[in-house]
A and B are shown apart, each in its own frame.
Chain A
Amino acid sequence: MNGLHELTALDAAAKVRSGEVTAQALAEAALARVAAVDGRVNAFTEVTRERALAEAAAVDAARAAGRTLPLLAGVPYAVKNLFDIEGLTTLAGSKINRDLPPASADCTLVGQMKAAGAVLVGALNMDEYAFGFTTENTHYGPCRNPHDLTRIAGGSSGGSAAAVAAGMVPLTLGTDTNGSIRVPASLCGVFGIKPTYGRLSRKGSYPFTGSFDHVGPFARSARDLAAAYDALQCIDQGDPAQSAREVEPTSGTLAKGVDGLRIAIAGDYFESHATPAALQARDIVAAALGASRRVTLPQAQLARGAAFMITAVEGSQLHLPDLRTRPDDFDPLIRDRFIANALAPAAWYMQAQRFRRWFHDQVMHVFETVDIVIAPATPTHATPIGAPAFELNGAQVPARPSMGLLTQPLSFIGLPIVAVPVPQPGLLPIGVQVIARPWHEADALRVAAWLEARGVAQSPVVNPV
């Protein structure tokens, strides 16, 4: 059967349940698609063929036995290579981690996907240790944007976004510390959700910056995104930052649309750090939603700076033993930053952590009168691979740190955000952040689904040529 790789996750699962398609056929179609296009994209660092076929066979056997199939039965997916996969070494984009033994068990989220019937196809490219916004990985090669193979996919979950955009799998998992789900989702034109800090379990994922590390899915439809997010929710004592909140499914709320939601535009910093193309994407969304009120998230520039500082200190301290003994085994694109960051005085770090409290309290005041705030997800579209800088307001800014200018202040305080793809004819993709108050993922997903239903947000499969 042709076109299996273009099915949404929920449509694929429905066909498996009805018997129209087997899970094995879906797995083989995904593996064939990876074989056909990933030589150009470089999204995968490992293909788990045997596991995929075994998990698919288990789904088909369950159906044959008359058992009720779970929500994502037979749906192929893949994960950023910092998630533990039993039997594989968790690379986290590094050369150094190749020395580690294979993971003895799946991470919590892979376990959740397996319980939901999904079929693991492989592990995905990323910036080394998640420290970057471009997935220009020196060890494993750059992940290329399926929309233009000369350009970055964004990062650090670049493989996760590119694999979905190119139709290799309908769902992937990634992580977002400062924008690493939202940036590649924006540049590759797919949906991604960074849930509230503490909502999904990070157990068994390789850490970067404990204060801001989040995990979440990518998809080509808002319904798929909500379904994956729902499947991933559980209560897990294994993640010390995870909330003890009950599971709160969202899929059933999508039909509510946007009625009753007060929606505003993030002004000031979120406009002055965006190119006209990014603001145009935001304006398309704002016009569709009838949103015209502007709100200010005060001192957003300092929020970005404080997030930068906390990331610098926590991220580098984690790798101090290897920085001491084998600095040349780090990706040269990040090694000197890691070393410099390891030397920051404690006073800088503590001021940033205290500022985080202040900023959180200010933004919570803003959310007393609005439910949703929208902002561009990236300052610009995908830049050429290797480009050191891009133009922003007439100035050249360093490309690698600056792609996260609009995401960093928000993950800093753990807000739930859906990045929605907003196609513009003739232009490369740029996404828009749909930002909700803490624990209100459902509101952001409702907006994403509403925009998709009206054709404002779309993520068709791209054929990378």
Chain B
Amino acid sequence: MILNEKKRVAFKTLGCRLNQYETDALVTDFSQAGYELVDYNESPDVVIVNTCTVTNQSDHKSRSVISQTARKAKNAVVVVTGCMANNFKEKLESQENITFVVENSRKSSILTLVDAHFSGEIAHPDQLPQDVFRYEPVKKSLHTRSAVKIQDGCDNFCTFCIIPMVRGNAVSRPVADVLESIRKTVENGFKEIVITGVNIGRYSDGATRFEDLLAQILEVPGDFRVRISSLEPDGFGPDFVKLFAHPKLMPHLHLCLQSGSDKTLLRMRRMYDVEQFRKTVTQFRAIYADFNFTTDIIVGFPGETEEEFGQTLEAIKEFNFSHIHTFKYSVRKGTRAERLENHLPEKVKTERSLQIRDLSVENKIDYFNSFIGKTQDVLVEKVAHGVASGYGEHYIPVRFKLAGAQKNAIHKVRLLERKGDDENSYLFGEAVL
């Protein structure tokens, strides 16, 4: 539907890369339908809040954003979608400040719902088709990089995780659709594509597994590079490591360890142990010595002893993660971990979380310092006051001065020094012309 009177739409996104991708795809949808993209402070006609529910904190943030948005955009149609919409559907539907609550499986059809609403039709979200892969390739976006979704859902049933309940069973997008989406996204001008999903290592379409798909993606013609979003450590085969020799594939993985204790990993129902994780890291670094590993760690999982936590600290030092996304364990209703014994006090979780944060900063500084004097190809995401900023191949934030630097361009940069606060460190460099 092309609108006679240009409507204004605003987006708020919480949580993971997958949510960000789905929002970007919706931005493309609304933009192509003639909607103007605005901030939620600028009196939008529609606000879409794409929520997260992975932790208590995510719930809190999502609730807060919904309230704030509804308050500021008083007369707007407020659409709440994302994982929290699945987890607390009935509760959200009863809130007067929300117009529509749309489950993840119907998220890709939000434009249809909003158009119908503005046309005076009585529309209900439950009438929308369910298709988790219906998203158009991203054209108009809130980000410089574009994600392409290859998979959704998860069947691992880790004991702490609510995601299988809110994202559903694991499903994989057909190979041909993925490759077509990559081609179109490249045609739309994106220089970096992030392969995303809920558990992408479990990708399976006929005989095609994750690394087979990745090999095909790397052979798509065009000037672009490929990054992999969060990955479970157990879902890929022996050929995976070799693929990183391809110049398009960036040397960085966010490989989710969660704990450095085998006992804790078993209680979490993770499918690997520390030794297997070590094997993977060793394989990578034997070939690519400066390969960047980042990770997720859950602290204060039920029953986590001082000894088990100590093993996590040791693992962090050993694997030299340059960044750690630390989650204090929080109960998700309906998960197995909710029923485990020995839940830890918040104080213990906070103390342990701080210890991990300190180690993470140390690792980050060491890792960043090891790049001083080297060069990186930096994709520019922002240019302000003559300073360009973006990320190098290893996902290190880099800034440099260059007259006429453009967003979405790749520049070779020699890295000169580390700047910024510890946690917000970046490398400053000079463009190699």
Whether chains A and B associate is no
Residues in chain B within 8 A of chain A (CB atoms):
none
Residues of A within 8 A of B (CB): none
